[in-house]
Structures are given as C-alpha cells and as structure tokens.
Amino acid sequence: MRLILCMLLCCMVILPSCSRSESASSIQPSQDAMGTGLTVVSWNMNWLNQSDSAGLNPRTSEDYEALSRYASQLDADIIVVQEVDGQEAVQRVFDPHKYAYHMSSRGDVQRVGIIYKKELDVVRYPDLVLLARVSSERLRYGVDLGVKDASGRELRILGVHLKSGCFSSPLDGPYKEYERPDACQKLKKQVPVLTRWMESRQQERTPFMLIGDMNRRLNPEDEVWQSWKNAVGQAGLYAPTLTEHSRCWGGKYPQFIDHMILDRRALNWMRGRRFFQLMYSPEDEQRHGYKLSDHCPVGLH
C-alpha cells in the first residue's frame, strides 16, 4: 500500500499543469534544433499613451495597472507591441527593472516596439523604414531585433504594423464593402518590402520571425500569404494563426490580423513552442473595456 501511494505522489508531481487553456498548435522541431525556448508575443495596445487621460484612447491609472497585471501574467521573453507612444508609455506596463525596450525611431504616438528581458543577448538593427515609404503617407516602420543563443546563433525578429483597411480584399480589387482601394494599394507595396527582408534572411541562413499586427486576415489561400510562400518557399514558412480562430472579446473577429510567421530554422530555434491567446477576464472586460485593448496578446510559449 505504501508503495502504491508513493507511485501516485510521483505521478502528481511529474504531470504538468495546464496554466493556459488557450494553448494549441504544437510546433515540432527537428532533432538537431539549436537556439532556445522563448516566449514571444504580439500585442497591439490600442493607442497606449505615456500619460493619464491623454491620446485617442485616454486611460486612468487603474487601466494602466490592469495592463501591468496582464503583462506580468504573460511573463514573455519578447513582446512585439504596436500603437504605443514610445518608451515612456510601455514602461508603465512592462517593468523597467525586468525589460529593455527597442522602439521605432518614427516620431509618432503610434509606434512599433520590441520589449525584451534584459538578460537576453540581443542586436538592435536599424528600422525597416521602407515599409513607411511606399507612399506619400508616413506609415509605420518595422522594428528589427536579433536574439542570440548560448552558441552565438541568431534569431531575427521583425516587428510590424501594416497598413489598415484591406483585410481580405484582392489587392487589385474587386474590393469588398468597407475596405478601401487606397489601403489595398499601400499594403500591396508593403508586401514586397517584407518579401525582400525574408529573402535576405533566407540567403544568410538566419532563422527569422515576422510578427505583429498585419491588418490582414491571412489564410492558406490568401493572396498575400501565397506571395510570400512562393517567394521564400524553400524557407518552409509557418504561421499558426492561419488555421486558429481568435477568441478575443468573445470571438467578435474570429480571423486573426495579428500574426507570427516563422521559417523552418526559426521553428527549430523555438524548440516546440505552442501557440496561445491570452484572454482578458470578464470582470476586467466589464470594468475597463477597450482601455485594455481591442486586441488580445497572442504568441508562442
């Protein structure tokens, strides 16, 4: 009897707990995987300002405290953020004792940034400014960060926030109702900029991840996804959000526009990470609404 009790106790210790019911889509790395397991997240923070009661989505100190709780719950190694008013804004949510910040050089209140744990060995690359220069309108820059493992091997992460307004229409039309031809034409010019960035990483044999708010409902048949697959097909592109459904805000928009696209080498680097969505609690949704954000954090952990 004592032996049976000991065996039961051992099983209870060994079995892992499921801390996030949102987990899905296991990634299977190859046997010769290098790199390390990182938790990488994308979070559009819906006009996060550095000051209380300021900007297009004015927040109270209680709203910022709620966001900080979710940031602590994520405990992510790398968070790619969009729609933030610079470093001062993200410092209110992500602990400056724990994190460092690589923010877009674009002087605007709606920036892209990459937040990362201070112990990581990183290389900050220049912004991908060509994403913003595809038209006379100043669009958002891509933010480029390299993360090194213990062997010195590097994973390149490009954080983006692409042109909004062309979520599923063909880039050259016909355009769906409420989608804008001008937005589709600007997005069409941004797509090859990202293609060239991925091609460069492929030629270098550098693992890469393209992550952020792409303002496009990518799916396996989507024109944008197909263009990337055709251009860098040998890289073995993978995006978990193509086949998952968003449960953010009760699944109001079931198709993701926040995506993470990895090549085969990056999958190996990530060592079996799983896709997840972090939901806001019903109580916080009722209390804070979109002051939390109209997007939920999504990532690999």
pLDDT band at 40 (very low <50, low <70, confident <90, very high): very high
pLDDT at 233: 82
pLDDT of 244 over the 90 cut: yes
- Distance (Å) of CA 76 to CA 95, 180, 189, 197, 278: 12, 35, 32, 25, 12
The predicted pLDDT at position 7 comes to 41
Q: Which long-range contacts (CB under 8 A, 24 or more apart) does 194-201 make?
A: 194/131, 194/142, 194/158, 194/160, 194/228, 195/227, 195/228, 195/231, 195/232, 197/128, 197/142, 197/158, 198/228, 198/231, 198/232, 198/235, 198/263, 199/231, 199/232, 201/156, 201/263
Residue 9 in any domain: the answer is no
pLDDT for 147-178, tens place per residue? 999 999 999 999 999 999 999 999 999 999 99
User: Angle at CA 251, nearest 5°, toward 141 and 70?
Assistant: 60
> Residue 176 is part of which domain span?
23-300
Please enumerate in sequence order all residues whose Cβ is within 8 A of that of 180, keeping only pairs 6 or more positions apart, or say none: 165, 166
pLDDT band at 138 (very low <50, low <70, confident <90, very high): confident
Amino acid at 128: L
DSSP state of 16: P
Is residue 2 domain-resident? no
Does residue 17 have a pLDDT over 70? Answer: no
Tokens representing residue 43 in the block: 């979070």
Whichever domain contains 291, its CATH number is 3.60.10.10
Distances in whole angstroms, Cα of residue 87 to Cα of each of 40, 49, 81, 102, 153 = 19, 10, 11, 8, 28
Q: What is the predicted pLDDT for the residue at 35? A: 61
Residue 272 has pLDDT above 90, yes or no: no
**Alpha carbon separation from 66 to 25, 60, 79, 295 (Å, rounded):** 28, 10, 17, 15
The yes-or-no verdict on residue 213 having pLDDT over 60 is yes
pLDDT tens digits along 71-81? 999 999 999 99
Assess if residue 15 is contained within a domain. Answer: no
pLDDT band at 1 (very low <50, low <70, confident <90, very high): very low
- Domains: count for the chain: 1
**Would residue 156 count as lying in a domain?**
yes
Average pLDDT, the chain: 89
In a domain, 222, yes or no: yes
Question: Is residue 14 over pLDDT 70?
Answer: no
Domain annotation covers residue 18: no
Are 142 and 151 in contact by the 8 Å Cβ rule? The answer is no
Q: What is the pLDDT of residue 200?
A: 98
Residue range 106-127: mean pLDDT, rounded: 96
Residue 14 belongs to a domain: no
Report residue 281's pLDDT band, with 50, 70 and 90 as the boundaries: very high
Closest CA relative to residue 109, chosen from 66, 161, 50, 65 = 50
Distances (CA, A) of 3 to 11, 12, 13, 15, 216: 13, 15, 16, 19, 57
- The pLDDT tens digits of the residues spanning 173-195 come to 999 999 999 999 999 999 999 99
For residue 130 the two structure tokens come to 């060509």
pLDDT higher than 50, residue 32: no
Greatest CA separation for the chain: 78
State how far the Cα of 159 lies from the Cα of 194, in Å rounded to an integer: 11
Domain membership of residue 10 (yes or no) is: no
